């Protein structure tokens, strides 16, 4: 959602700006510039942007780790510092660091105590979330012996432990192998199915395009795009990419994109041209290897919005 009307927003930023002083107080870097953004309940919201776009700074202001220089931040209609808002929040930082002398089981028990979970319920949830994040059987491994991916999974477990209404995750797929990324995507989808809200930052556009309901793109701390994913990514076929062998390109409609050996990759603009190409290939005794409909993608939108060199300035 846009604008400043809180409506059903679980997170609302209104005109938020945050800047940092440089080394020894020299200079000033504006990390977030006049950001107005709302996140409605019950969906998955992706905060996207290149390195230095202001994503981490924005999330830290949402959870109360940083205060904005100007503007307002609200969680469930309350300031992030309000305990009534905090108790409904689960947070995973970008680079989690935990007490490495604890085991995963001890670590989650400690966090459960901080969250006020009663003993029997706390241990039930500890075992449950360890299984959810793929760490069943590794409960008693000291954190200092855990890989980066295991620590990332454990950080996600602590964010889920008290079954929060809102999950804010900073680069939750960081450090995970393809199987781990799939597991985290499934976990995020399960939170939406349970009626919870998930807001996560990422630079992995494939993950965002797979699971997000809405996305926002930050560039240089400013909002460049915000909207439903179905509005961001066109379902309309823009053109067709066709791989052909056995026919000279001069006898075929369409423009040549590339060639490798006998295979030619052609671009045709619409279905009528595609039909014409197929007939020409058949008449010429050739073969069509593949046909790929090309649609406007989140990656293409992202690259248009950030422009050349957009990630070279600003703060995290």
Percent of the chain scoring above 90 in pLDDT: 56
What is the distance of C-alpha 314 from the center of its chain?
Answer: 20
Please state, in angstroms and rounded to a whole number, the distance separating the CA atoms of residues 110 and 113.
5
pLDDT in tens, 90-113: 999 988 889 999 999 999 999 999
* Alpha helices per DSSP H over the chain: 55-63, 83-86, 104-114, 119-132, 148-160, 178-193, 205-211, 229-232, 271-283, 298-306
Cβ-proximal residues to 71 (8 Å cutoff; 6+ apart), any chain: 13, 14, 15, 16, 17, 34, 35, 36
Distance CA 265, CA 241 (A): 7
Q: What b/e readout covers 6-20, taking b as 16+ CB neighbours within 10 angstroms? A: eeebbbbbbebebbe
Would you place residue 308 in the very low, low, confident or very high pLDDT band (cuts 50, 70, 90)?
A: low
Task: Indicate the average pLDDT of the chain.
Answer: 88
pLDDT of residue 241: 92
Cβ atoms of residues 61 and 73 within 8 Å: yes
Predicted local distance difference test score (pLDDT) of residue 313: 44
Specify burial of residue 200 (Cβ count, 10 A radius: 0-12, 13-18, 19+). buried
Q: Of 194-203, 236-245, 254-263, which has the strongest mean pLDDT?
A: 194-203
List pLDDT tens digits, range 21-70.
877 777 789 999 999 999 999 999 999 998 889 999 999 999 999 999 99
Q: Which has more confidence, 175 or 161?
A: 161
pTM for the predicted model, two decimal places: 0.79
User: What is the predicted pLDDT for the residue at 103?
Assistant: 94
């Amino acid at each position: 959602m846009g604008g400043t009307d809180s409506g059903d927003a679980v997170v609302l930023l209104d005109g938020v700006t945050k800047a940092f002083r440089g080394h020894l107080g020299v200079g000033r870097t504006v990390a977030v510039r006049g950001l107005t953004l709302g996140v409605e309940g019950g969906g998955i919201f992706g905060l996207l942007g290149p390195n230095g776009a202001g994503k981490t700074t924005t999330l830290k202001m949402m959870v109360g780790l940083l205060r904005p220089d100007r503007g307002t931040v609200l969680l469930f209609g309350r300031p992030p510092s309000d305990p009534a808002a905090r108790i409904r929040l689960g947070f995973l930082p970008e680079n989690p660091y935990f007490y490495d002398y604890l085991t995963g089981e001890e670590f989650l028990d400690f966090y459960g105590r901080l969250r006020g979970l009663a003993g029997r319920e706390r241990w039930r949830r500890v075992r449950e979330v360890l299984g959810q994040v793929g760490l069943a059987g590794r409960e008693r491994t000291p954190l200092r012996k855990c890989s980066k991916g295991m620590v990332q999974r454990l950080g996600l477990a602590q964010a889920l432990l008290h079954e929060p209404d809102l999950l804010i995750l900073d680069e939750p797929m960081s450090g995970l192998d393809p199987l781990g990324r799939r597991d985290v995507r499934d976990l995020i989808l399960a939170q939406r199915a349970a009626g919870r809200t998930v807001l996560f930052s990422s630079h992995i556009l494939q993950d965002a395009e797979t699971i997000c309901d809405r996305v926002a793109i930050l560039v240089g701390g400013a909002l460049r795009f915000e909207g439903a994913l179905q509005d961001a990514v066109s379902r309309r076929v823009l053109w067709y990419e066709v791989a052909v062998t056995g026919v000279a390109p001069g006898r075929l409609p369409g423009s040549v994109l590339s060639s490798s050996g006998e295979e030619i990759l052609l671009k045709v603009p619409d279905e009528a041209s595609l039909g014409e190409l197929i007939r020409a290939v058949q008449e010429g005794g050739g073969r069509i290897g593949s046909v790929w409909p090309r649609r406007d993608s989140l990656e293409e939108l992202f690259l248009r919005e950030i422009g050349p060199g957009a990630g070279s300035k600003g703060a995290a």
